[in-house]
Structure 1
Amino acid sequence: MASLSPEALMKFTRGISVRQIRLSCGLVLFAYLVSHFLNHALGNISMEALADGVYFHTLFWQFLPVAILFYAAALVHAGLGLWALYERRQFRWKAIEPLQLVLGLSIPALIITHIAGVRLGQTLFGHEKLYPQVLFAYWIVWPYKIWLMLAVMTVAWVHGCIGLYFWLRMKAFYKNAAPFLLAAAVLVPALAMLGLYQAGRTVVDNDSKEWRAENLSPRQVGTQAEQAVLKSIEDYFLIGYLGLLGFVMLARGVRAINERRAGMVSLSYGNGKTVRVPKGLSVLEASLRNNVPHASVCGGRARCSTCRIRVIGDCASLPEPSKREAFVLNRVGAGADPAIRLACQLRPETDLSFFQIFLPQITAATLRTSSPSRIGEERYLVSMFVDMRGSTRLAEKRLPFDTVFIVNRFLGAVSQAVMECGGQPNQFVGDGQLALFGLGTDPQTACRQALKAASLIAANIDELNQFLSHDLQEPIRFGIGIHGGEVIIGDIGYRDHMVFTALGDAVNVAARLQDMTKSLACEAVISEEVRVTGGLAADSLPQHEVTIRGRAEPMIVRAVTDAKTLSALVNELNAIAA
């Protein structure tokens, strides 16, 4: 098997950051949590069902490769939680984020009693503590521990659900899946806790000398000396963990003192607003610390680009973008411009002047009341850019009102074709238009709708040319670029001037393909992504390998000399599907 080249390895790892590692580890731990909770829920059936469930649960999670993965994920996730506490410069994020951090940091302190009593007892002394032994200890010997167990179950589950929410909320399927996810988030822990209650009552009802002799032997629960050792481990762990938390907080204080000694930097927002902050803060953190509104759909996680800023002046003194920042900027076609940076990642060491590319429009109130698609949602869309050729020459020889009339007729012909085919006219930029397909359909249908719309646009422009034949020295010509991919859709703008649009690499590429119709002497350029997803045959359209500005690798596209021919290709596909 051929090994990965350094270039391929760099490409694979450039989008990975600490947050991605923390998410991956968290998913492993949440999978364990779900498995354990479902095991607890079997207590609603019988103690025998609990015993069968724990057999298969341990069989899987104690399988050596899985166990290594689980314990590695637990250690890394806990370590990154401490790092997040140290790294966070302020706590003025939305309340759910510091809540998630506090809950996560409390889990080790709450769970150590259970780990020491069950897992370490088995590893160090060979104890065979299963549900009867644990429930006897929690319900009869130390009744307060049942409340500790319920607390850690609640804390761990809420912490995991918050993490899943932040990960899934921008996915295309989240809006439809949210009710089912909410039902699972409520039912799974409720059934688990009810199962423990039912099993605990069974243990209490069966308590007798005979039951204790059978279930509480030294082989199962250990001797008093062994229990004392486990209790000492528990106490030392708590002391060490609390000391570690104190050390992190002390390190935060030392860092804050050092940053102030190192000096302050001035951040000028380009609108007259200037703040002074210690070196080391990101621009987004500085905005939040000083109550300066700053757009950030993903909450500063470098998963979107809405916090982007354009630096004014010399960029030579700026620190180099991290791998994650470079990955996001390349995704939106801004990687080649050193003046474009992510505010959540840029930590300036000198005074900085900039302006926000996306003005802030999302407040806590709108976040609670707006639908996810209006705030920001990640999904697959097909973007179509249509541009009118020669509008500058057209304006030179006509009165302004005549020019506007012709351009409006052109945009009307384009919009009519887009809407008839199921698309949505989105942005009008001069004599050009961005149209979106797939807001309510699957990717294949969206691709075919865009191809059908391109052919109908060509037919509508032909009719417009015939209508204006006496007024035009030459017919109206146009260029169309079509590309599909994952984009962020949402409201962009300021106050009352908001527009719904799409942002992302797929939109930028569609604009580049529209420009390319000039050099390829054709009416439309379609990406290979749209051809494949739409189901067109490989030999249906001429193929070209082109270089796209802002992309390192060449791209395969299909040139369409006469856009009207696309109608026959789409009709043929629809007939086959029917």
Structure 2
Amino acid sequence: MTALSREQLTTFLRGISLRQVRLVSGVVLFAYLVSHFLNHALGNISLEALASGVYLHTAFWQFLPVTILFYTACLVHTALGIWALYERRQFRWKAIEPLQLALGLSIPMLIIAHIIGVRLGQTLFGHEKLYPQILFLYWIWAPWRIWMMLAVMTIAWVHGCIGLYLWLRMRSFYKRAAPFLLAAAVLIPTLSMLGFYQSGRMVIDSDSDEWRAETQTTRQIGTRAEAQALDRITDYFLFGYFGLIGVALLARGARAINERRRGMINLSYGNGRTVRVPKGLSVLEASLRNNVPHASVCGGRARCSTCRIRIIGDYSDLPKPSQREAFVLGRVGTSDPSIRLACQLRPPADLSFFQLFLPHTSADGHESNPTRVGQERYLVSLFVDMRGSTQLAEKRLPFDTVFIVNRFLGAVSQAVIESGGRPNQFVGDGMLALFGLACSRQEACRQVLRAAALIAVNVDELNKFLEHDLREPIRFGIGINGGEVIVGDIGYRDHMVFTALGDPVNVAARLQDMTKVLACEVVVSDEVRATAGLAEDALPEQEVTIRGRNEPMIVRIVADARMLPALVNDEQSAAA
């Protein structure tokens, strides 16, 4: 292994956080749960279908590498759950998060007897406990276990779904995928429980001396002495698990006592409010403990930057940002050392700061008019401007001018909507439209080119409608650019507007201005041309300098926007 590869491996391993380990282990366990539930669902067909399914299920999960991965995930996820119980200093978060923690900690104590009875019984004594044996035990020998099984199925499924929700909720595709995910989250456990019930009824109906002699042999279910040995092992595991939880709770108490002995510090919020808290709390935990509103979309997991604060005064004695905190601050382009994440910063001494994102609260402290907090995603921006509106206004009555401008913006908006985009901001006689809110990058780039052509067609129709009132036809300029932007609600209180912010939007506006100099209707960034799949020689190329940027930019010139659909359709036909 070369020095470079070792360095890359070291950097990769250091970049792995506990949150990522918890996520990966949780996904592995949830995959097992889905597989097990689908196997249960086969009980709605027949016991034979159930038996066939379990062979496929066990063949995959007992394949040695998969088995090692699965049991490692079990141990790691359980250990991280106990660690989360110790580490969490504040439980006044959204109710869904402590609920997830409580459900997760209850799963091992409910499922351990089943795991030891089936898996460890096979390993130690060679038992073959498959569905006929397990269903006999639950439905005939010990019916009370039915309710325990249904309870653990529900708890494990809810815990996994909450984890997936907290992971996926800020992803760009989540809004589109949510209805399908909800359908799966309801159907899979429902079919599984119905299958468990139906197969249990089949076992009851099949119960006979001959059936028991075939399915309940000593080789399959073991002897009484072996069952007692497995029960003792189960008790040891339970005692050990409860002991670990007890150690975590005792450690929490010892930490609280130690923090108070180490002293208290003052946190000043820059608005006249000061709270006194023990050393060791993060700024966000201190805010929540003292009922101080503090923005935090991700719940203090360093997955967003909404809890950012700016330190007032000297910050040289503060602990350096962790790798995760530095990563998040780097993603939002923050290099100022006075800006920190409140959920990660644990000040060792008195601290003064102010919040960069104030939470929207009403007078009684409850949230009012919740907003969509910004998320980073790829969008294509189209900026269109009406030419000559100033001269138009000089020679007309104000209301006549407003009428014409509104008709122009209406024609443009209609073209944008029909092409799959979203009219976003109206600035005088211009408009910003966004593409890609609900489709792929390539489709967004193709939609925006079709929209530019349709704008030209709609403006032509408008010119014909107003030809008796206009000395000159309405002309326009369009700038198109794509890239990663921040989308969210911007504004103040009841005056919030959903929009996009970022350099790609500004560049689209600059490209629209260049249509005047380049004497064309549309200027498209080469990045949009390439993503849309247009050939390099499809449109004339031009290197331009964008105001505010050091590097020149390659753009494509479109003299007549009406020819764009033909180019897009030709490329789609060639690809097909």
Check whether TM > 0.5.
yes
* 1:535 CA displacement: 2.3
RMSD (Å), alpha carbons: 4.4
Alignment of 1:383-422 (within 5 A): 383=381, 420-421=415-416
- Residue 440 and residue 198 in structure 1: after superposition, are their counterparts in 2 closer, same or farther (change >3 A)? closer
Task: Say if 1:82 and 1:248, in contact at 8 Å, map to a contact too.
Answer: yes
1:572 aligns with 2:567: yes
8 Å CA contact 1:483, 1:526 repeated in 2 = no
Q: Distance in 1 between matches of 2:12 and 2:264?
A: 37
Which amino acid is 1:52 matched to?
Answer: S
Residue 252 of structure 1 pairs with residue 216 of structure 2: no
Contact 1:133 1:220 in 2 (8 A): yes
* C-alpha distance in 1 between matches for 2:427 and 2:10: 37
- Aligned partners of 2:203 and 2:442: how far apart in 1? 57
AA of the residue aligned to 2:87 = E
Q: In structure 1, what is the equivalent of residue 396 of structure 2?
A: none
1:558 aligned partner: 554
User: Would the alpha carbon gap of residues 385 and 511 (structure 1) be closer, same or farther in structure 2, given more than 3 Å must change?
Assistant: farther
Superposition deviation, residue 283 in structure 1 = 2.0
Amino acid in the other structure paired with 1:307: C
Q: 1:80 to 1:230 in 2, by over 3 A?
A: same
**C-alpha separation between the residues in 2 aligned to 1:342 and 1:224?**
58
* Secondary structure class of the residue paired with 1:337: coil
- Aligned residue type for 1:244: L
Change (3 A) 1:233 1:2: same
Structure 1 residues 238 and 362: alpha-carbon distance in aligned structure 2, compared to 1, 3 A threshold: farther
SS of 1:360's partner is coil
Preserved CA contact (<8 Å) 2:415 2:455: no
CA distance in 1, matches of 2:488, 2:54: 46
Matched, 1:30 2:14: no
Aligned to 1:391: none
1:98 matched to which residue of 2? 98
2:547 and 2:321 map into 1 onto residues whose CA distance is: 22
Relative distance call for 1:525 and 1:497 in structure 2 (3 A) is same
- Residues 47, 199 of structure 1: 8 Å contact kept: yes
* Residue identity in the other structure for 1:351: D
Shift of 1:356: 2.0
Using the size of structure 2 for normalisation, the TM-score is 0.78
In structure 2, the residue matched to 1:121 is 121
CA shift, 1:41, in A, is: 1.2
CA change 1:183–1:7 in 2 (3 A) is same
Does the residue aligned with 1:484 lie in a helix, a strand or coil? strand
Q: Report the alpha carbon displacement of residue 152 of structure 1 after superposing the two structures with TM.
A: 0.7
Gaps of 5+ in 1: 388-408, 464-477
* Deviation of the 1:9 alpha carbon: 5.0
Q: Counterpart of 2:296?
A: 296
Q: 1: distance between equivalents of 2:432 and 2:10?
A: 34
1:269, CA displacement in angstroms?
2.1
Equivalent-residue separation in structure 1 for 2:173 and 2:524 (angstroms): 26
Q: 1:56 to 1:445 in 2, by over 3 A?
A: closer
Distance 1:431 1:251 in 2: 65
SS of match in other structure, 2:321:
coil
State the match for 1:66 in structure 2. 66
- Partner residue, 2:468: none
Cross-structure match for 1:447 = 445
Deviations 1:98-118 (A, max 9, x none): 000000010000001101110
Three-state SS of the structure 1 residue aligned to 2:554 is strand
Greater Cα shift, 528-537 or 418-427? 418-427
Q: Secondary structure at the match of 2:482?
A: strand
Asked if residue 491 in structure 1 is aligned to residue 486 in structure 2, the reply is no
CA distance in structure 2 between the partners assigned to 1:322 and 1:532 by the alignment: 39
**Comparing 220-229 and 13-22, the one that deviates more:** 13-22
> In structure 2, do the counterparts of structure 1 residues 331 and 431 end up closer, same or farther at CA, with 3 Å as the change threshold?
farther
The 5 Å alignment of 1:197-208 reads 197-208=197-208
Work out which of the residue numbers 489, 499, 502 in structure 2 matches 1:501: 499
- Change over 3 Å in CA distance of 1:379–1:61 after alignment to 2: same
Relative contact order (C-alpha < 8 Å, sep 6+): which is higher? 1
Q: Given residue 446 of structure 1, which amino acid in structure 2 is its aligned partner? A: A
Question: Contact between 2:277 and 2:286, CA under 8 Å: does it hold in 1?
Answer: yes
1:130–1:248 CA distance, 2 compared to 1 (3 A): same
- Once the two structures are overlaid, the 10-residue window that deviates more, 253-262 or 446-455, is 446-455
Deviation, structure 1 residue 119: 0.6
Tell me which of 434, 437, 452 is aligned to 2:435. Answer: 437
Contact 1:454-1:480 at 8 Å conserved across structures: no
User: Structure 1's 291 and 193: CA in aligned 2 closer, same or farther, altered over 3 A?
Assistant: same
Specify the SS of the correspondent of 2:434. Answer: strand
Where 1:436 maps in the other structure, the secondary structure is strand
Q: Deviations over 1:108-142 (max 9, x none)?
A: 00001101110100011110111111111112222
Change (3 A) 1:362 1:124: farther
State the partner residue of 2:320.
320
Q: Distance in 2 between matches of 1:412 and 1:343?
A: 49
Shift of the 416–517 alpha-carbon distance from structure 1 to 2, 3 Å rule, reads: closer
Q: What does 1:539-554 correspond to in 2, within 5 Å?
A: none
Q: Which runs of 5+ in 2 are unaligned?
A: 386-403, 464-476
Count of aligned positions: 532
CA shift, 1:215, in A, is 1.7
CA gap 1:197/1:35 in 2 versus in 1, 3 angstroms? same
Deviations 1:40-90 (A, max 9, x none): 111111111111010000011111111111111111111111111111111
For 2:512 and 2:336, the matched residues in 1 are separated by 25
Residues 1:500 and 1:365: Cα distance change in structure 2 (over 3 Å):
farther
Residue 131 of structure 1 is matched in structure 2 by 131
**Alpha-carbon contact 2:383-2:512 (below 8 Å) kept:** no
- Offset of residue 16 of structure 1: 4.2
